[in-house]
Amino acid sequence: METAEANYQGVWGNRIGFGQSPALLVIDFLKAYTIEGAPLYAPGVVDAVARTPRLLQEARAKGIPVIHTRILYLAKDCADGGVWVKKAPVMKAMVEGNVLAEFCDGVEPKDGELVVVKQYASAFFGTSLASYLHARGIDTVVLSGCSTSGCIRASAVDAVQHGFRTIVVRDCVGDRHPDPHEANLFDIDSKYGDVVSLEEAIAALSRRGSSSAPGAD
- The answer to whether 151 is a known catalytic residue is yes
Q: Is 81 left (phi over 0), alpha (psi -120 to 50) or beta?
A: alpha
Residues 6+ apart with CB under 8 A from 45: 29, 33, 34, 146, 147, 174, 175, 176
Cβ atoms of 156 and 164 within 8 Å: the answer is no
Q: Under DSSP, is residue 24 helix (H, G, I), strand (E, B) or coil? A: strand
Cβ atoms of 91 and 101 within 8 Å: the answer is no
Stated length of the chain: 217
Residues 6+ apart with CB under 8 A from 74: 80, 95, 96
Inter-CA distances, 117 with 7, 16, 96, 134, 179, Å = 39, 28, 12, 18, 28
Query: Active-site residue among 104, 146, 151, 172?
Result: 151
Q: CB count, 10 Å around CB of 142?
A: 28
Active site positions, annotated: 151
